[in-house]
Amino acid sequence: MQKYSKIISTGSYLPDKVYTNHDIEKFVDTSNDWIIERTGIEKRHIASESESSVDMAHAACIDAFKNCAIELKDIEMIVVATTTPERKFPSTAVLLQNKLNNNSAFAFDINAACTGFIYALDIADKYIKGGFVKNALVVGTEKITSLLDWKDRNTCVLFGDGAGAVVLSSSDTPGIISNTIGSDGSYKDLLTVNTDTEVIEMKGNDVFKIAVNTMGKLAASTLEKNGFKVEDLDWLIPHQANSRIINAVAKKINLPEEKIVMTVNKHGNTSAASIPLALDYANKQQMIHKDNIIMFEAFGAGFTWGSTLLKF
């Protein structure tokens, strides 16, 4: 019988500290109206100085195991998507494994910027489908505000911190129907953090246009290659960078706005954490239900991109 992987639990964590747009108005030349109109963002969570991407990932995983059919000791694989590791090495995933007191898994990190969670999910899905492991923990965690120049209004208004986690388990029925991932390194300088400056530098306009085009095509081709019509989709859970990007992509595939999970207003762009955070939000709000057809979609620095089509 064909094996699938299925998300059996979700969890998330957001730091206590919140910056509203009005807070940011105090230290950079911007306005609440501009940020809302151009990005849809109203507030974002900011990790404390002592709080790392491992701490946030740990809290999201504990949340995911609150109501989970399996236990932490049953996890055989931990994949963490992050661009903001606590240490250069060991990996965030290994530090997380230690904090979770799990000694049965192998653990490693993925860096595909904002697309990282979909890359991580794709790898875990393949290990499960291949029969190599039964249960995996897939996490997106970011202390992305540690890479911000708080004097650069082009970037500092956009990002926030947080973590999201899913437990992925072997199943006889779907589950994940398909994953698609891609990258093109020729765009390496449009959105980057160089090791000498350690701050995000971005050509926002260019990123915007390529993001909309790439994600529009990717959404359409993901549905088509799996024999799905846009009407079959219950929810789109996209990477949360900018509500205008999300709405433009939905428009390209004729998806009504009511079918989009939108959290960018509450969280800002949390990079690799944004999809699992939005998924857990939609799950806890009981927006998504068992057997719903859901598409994840992301785009990020590299450029990288990816989509996941799944039955929840």
**Residues identified as active-site:** 114, 239, 269
- For residue 227 the two structure tokens come to 């024999």
Check binding of 300 to ligand ACO (CB under 6 A).
yes
Contacts of 46 (CB under 8 A, 6+ apart): 15, 17, 18, 19, 145, 160, 161
Residues paired with residue 296 on neighbouring β-strands, in sequence order: 237, 308
Check binding of 270 to ligand ACO (CB under 6 A).
no
Nearest-approach distance from CB 206 to ligand ACO, in angstroms: 8
Please choose, out of 101-109, 133-141, 207-215, 230-238, the segment that lies near ligand ACO by the rule CB under 6 A. Answer: 207-215
Residue 189 C-beta-side C-alpha neighbours within 13 Å: 1
**What are the φ and ψ backbone dihedral angles of 246, each rounded to 5 degrees?**
-60, -45
Nearest-approach distance from CB 193 to ligand ACO, in angstroms: 11
- For residue 169 the two structure tokens come to 């388990």
Angle at 8 between CA 162 and CA 65, to 5 degrees: 55
Check residue 233 and report its DSSP letter.
-
Nearest-approach distance from CB 180 to ligand ACO, in angstroms: 17
- Which uninterrupted H or E stretch holds 127? helix 116-129
Residue 297 DSSP SS3: strand
Nearer to ligand ACO, 179 or 240 (CB): 240
Nearer to ligand ACO, 13 or 187 (CB): 187
> 78 to 117, contacts with ligand ACO by CB under 6 A?
114
Interaction mask 39-78, ligand ACO, x per CB under 6 A: x---------------------------------------
Angle at 234 between CA 230 and CA 237, to 5 degrees: 95
Cis peptide preceding 276, ω within 30 of 0: no
Nearest-approach distance from CB 157 to ligand ACO, in angstroms: 4
Instruction: Give the whole-angstrom CA distance, residue 244 versus residue 90.
Output: 38
Nearer to ligand ACO, 174 or 204 (CB): 204
Nearest-approach distance from CB 33 to ligand ACO, in angstroms: 9
**Contact with ligand ACO (CB under 6 A): which of 3, 17, 38, 217?**
38
Query: Which stretches of the chain bind ligand ACO, using CB under 6 A?
Result: 30, 34, 38-39, 114, 153-154, 157-158, 191, 202, 204-205, 207-208, 211, 239, 241-242, 245, 269, 299-300
